[in-house]
Amino acid sequence: DAGVIQSPRHEVTEMGQEVTLRCKPISGHNSLFWYRQTMMRGLELLIYFNNNVPIDDSGMPEDRFSAKMPNASFSTLKIQPSEPRDSAVYFCASTTGNQPQHFGDGTRLSIL
C-alpha cells in the first residue's frame, strides 16, 4: 500500500526562481495538508483541503505561496518568486474522516 508520495525529495534553486512541490495522497483519502518544518518555527500547517477544496489557508506565509488540488490524487505547492527564507522541509499529509494523518517524506528545499 503506497503512502503519501512527494516529489522532488530535494530541490536547490536560486532566489527568484519558481518552485513547485508535488504531492500524491493515499488513495481514498479526502483531506490533504501542506506543512513546513524549520528549526526556528517547528512544524507549521500552511493549508489544507477537503474533497479538493481549500478549507483553511491562514498558514500560507504570503502571496508568493499558492496551493492547488486539481483532483483527488494530486496537489501542488508553488512558491513564486522564491526567497532564501523559504528554505525548509515541506511535508504533505493526507487522511480521511477522523483517522490520523499520514505524512510523506518531505521535500527539502534550499533557496540560494
Partner 1 sequence: SQQGEEDPQALSIQEGENATMNCSYKTSINNLQWYRQNSGRGLVHLILIRSNEREKHSGRLRVTLDTSKKSSSLLITASRAADTASYFCATDGEGAQKLVFGQGTRLTINP
Give the binding site for partner 1 (CB under 8 A): 4, 31, 33, 42-43, 45, 48, 50, 55-56, 91, 93, 95, 98, 100-106
Nearer Cβ to partner 1 (10/85): 10
Q: Dmax of the chain from CA atoms? A: 40
Query: What is the closest distance, in whole angstroms, from the C-beta atom of residue 91 to partner 1 in the complex?
Result: 6
**Cα–Cα distance for residue pair 86/37, rounded to 1 Å:** 10
Nearer Cβ to partner 1 (59/64): 59
Query: What is the closest distance, in whole angstroms, from the C-beta atom of residue 9 to partner 1 in the complex?
Result: 9
**Cα–Cα distance for residue pair 48/68, rounded to 1 Å:** 10
Q: Would you state the cell numbers that stand for residue 61, as one nine-digit string? A: 506565509
Nearer Cβ to partner 1 (8/16): 8
3-state secondary structure of 41: coil
Nearer Cβ to partner 1 (20/37): 37
Query: What is the closest distance, in whole angstroms, from the C-beta atom of residue 81 to partner 1 in the complex?
Result: 27
| CA 90 to each of CA 20, 76, 111: distance values in angstroms, whole numbers, following the listed order | 11, 11, 13
Query: What is the closest distance, in whole angstroms, from the C-beta atom of residue 29 to partner 1 in the complex?
Result: 12
In this structure, how many other beta carbons lie within 10 angstroms of the beta carbon of residue 56?
13
